[in-house]
Structure 1
Amino acid sequence: MTPYRLILAVPFLAASAAYADGDATKGQRVFKKCAACHSADPAQRKPGPHLQDILGRPAGSVEGFKYSASMAEAGLVWHESTLRAFLADPKGTVPKTRMGFRGIKKEADLTNLMAYLKGL
């Protein structure tokens, strides 16, 4: 890469790195879309399972919650990549899931939501 191209690329690389981390405060606002059915608190019962400590957790594993057969049998573990795919397109990722949400379409919203969920 020529020095000129490198100088032009640096701001874009820095912006990409910052964007990849997301903003948990903005993610909390995005979470309001989820909060009708999901809680960040395991003690609070809602129609959907709580999302505290979701990363690293096997899908369909919250005790006391009745999952769809497709979710229970999906064999997924909620890593960042699987959770991002599911939140962007729930029915495309786990067909016949009971989650009625159509998905988060804006990449920035998804990135910020992931930053928020990581902190739960």
Structure 2
Amino acid sequence: MNVRSNPVHPQSFASLVLTVSLVLTIVAIVFSTGLAHATGNVARGQTLYKGCADCHSINENAVGPMHKGVVGRKAGSVPGYDYSADLKNSGIVWTEDNLDKWLAGPQAMVPETKMFFDVPDARDRADIIAFLKERAR
């Protein structure tokens, strides 16, 4: 009987395990980030939105622009609000991902924006975005 063996080299096996682990970690991060948007808590977002009410409302411009229809809208496009030129010309569309980035640090996206308030907690941002998607249509 002719038996042939292919020994697995320890270095090759370790490299394979490391590669598979890395890929699985990246997949987990990508899916968990997407789920954060999908699972935002609307009721909690409504409570958190009260902190935004010093400058914003859903239906009227104030210190900041109104949020009615914000999800999917082009940044700097609400009639009657005086945006910074940089925000008007940014080309940003308010997707969930862009809203998340904006709330995390508006001046990182548009340095000359009028908005200086940020929301450092990812769960808080997801909940506020869920509220805006549901109640500010």
| TM-score, scaled to structure 2 | 0.70
Residues 45 and 130, structure 2, Cα contact 8 Å, conserved in 1: yes
* Structure 1 unmatched ranges of 5 or more: 1-15
Equivalence map 1:98-113=2 (5 Å): 98-101=114-117, 103-113=118-128
Q: Which residue of 1 aligns with 2:16?
A: none
* Residue identity (%): 40
- The equivalent position to 1:61 in structure 2, one of 77, 88, 112, is 77
Unmatched 5+ residue regions in structure 2? 1-31
Higher-RCO chain (CA-CA 8 Å, sequence separation at least 6): 1
Matches within 5 A, 1:26-41: 26-41=44-59
- Quote the Cα distance in structure 2 between the aligned partners of 1:65 and 1:18: 31
Bigger shift: residues 44-53 or 66-75: 44-53
1:1-120 to structure 2, matched below 5 A, reads 17=35, 20-41=38-59, 44-101=60-117, 103-119=118-134, 120=136
Aligned partner of 1:112: which letter? Answer: D
Q: Deviations over 1:84-103 (max 9, x none)?
A: 100111100111101121x1
RMSD: 1.6
Rg larger in structure: 2
The number of aligned residues is 102
